[in-house]
Amino acid sequence: IPIRAMVFIAVTATAGAAALGISCLHWRCDDPLKFCCYLLIAILASTMKVSLPGIESTMSVTFLFILLGVLELSLPEVLILGCAAALVQSLWKAKKRPQLVQVVFNILSVTAVGVWLTYLGYHYAVVLFRGSLTLSVLTAGGIYFLTNTVPVSAILALVSKSSMIKIWKETYFWGLPYNLAGAAVVGTMHFSNRFVGWQNSLL
């Protein structure tokens, strides 16, 4: 791995570790059963990858439960959920054993940083858009999409010495509509929770 790529990973992983560590120092769990259910389902979802038409890469359905967690759980809970799912996703039925640096990058540089920024972005959007669920959820979906695809495109560009923008457009750009559609599903689930309860909505 080129030195520039290692520096990029070190900086972003440090930011992710800081976000995870500081958040866990302020641990808060209002509904342990709900957190455990979301965590279990997110881990199970991380073992599934969906191939989408027109896209070379696959998409993990874990992002649905991470976004749902952003709306309904505390920041440390969502970070634990996201990082646990990322760990399982990195190791589950891998064609070849991933290197430690790859696992660290996926968990800290991509997931931890992405979840942290998405959580902050969503709660800022709630204030900015005066409580509009639709706009706030779509904002969260867009932030999560960017924070998950831009760092990967950047590291691929540094390793292959090619254009990051070109890699992002060719590999990830067309996944945005699917991501936003997923965000709409999450918004619908969150809205329905108020009337039927999170257990029924999740089922």
Q: How is residue 79 written in tokens? A: 């970070």
Q: What is the pLDDT of residue 172?
A: 84
Q: What is the pLDDT of residue 60?
A: 73
Note whether 137 and 183 are within 8 A (CB): yes
Note whether 92 and 46 are within 8 A (CB): yes
Q: What is the pLDDT of residue 80?
A: 96
pLDDT tens-digit readout, 70-116: 999 999 999 999 999 999 988 887 778 888 999 999 999 999 999 99
Note whether 147 and 114 are within 8 A (CB): yes
pLDDT tens-digit readout, 46-57: 888 665 554 445
Q: Which of 180, 19, 174, 2 is nearest to 111 (CA)?
A: 19
Q: What is the pLDDT of residue 58?
A: 57
Q: What is the pLDDT of residue 88?
A: 92
Note whether 193 and 67 are within 8 A (CB): no
Which residue positions in the chain have pLDDT lower than 50? Answer: 54-56
In angstroms, rounded to a whole number, what is the distance separating the alpha carbons of residues 30 and 106?
28
Q: What is the pLDDT of residue 51?
A: 57
Q: What is the pLDDT of residue 103?
A: 93
Phi, psi of 51 (to 5 degrees): -85, 130
Q: What is the pLDDT of residue 50?
A: 63
Q: What is the pLDDT of residue 81?
A: 96
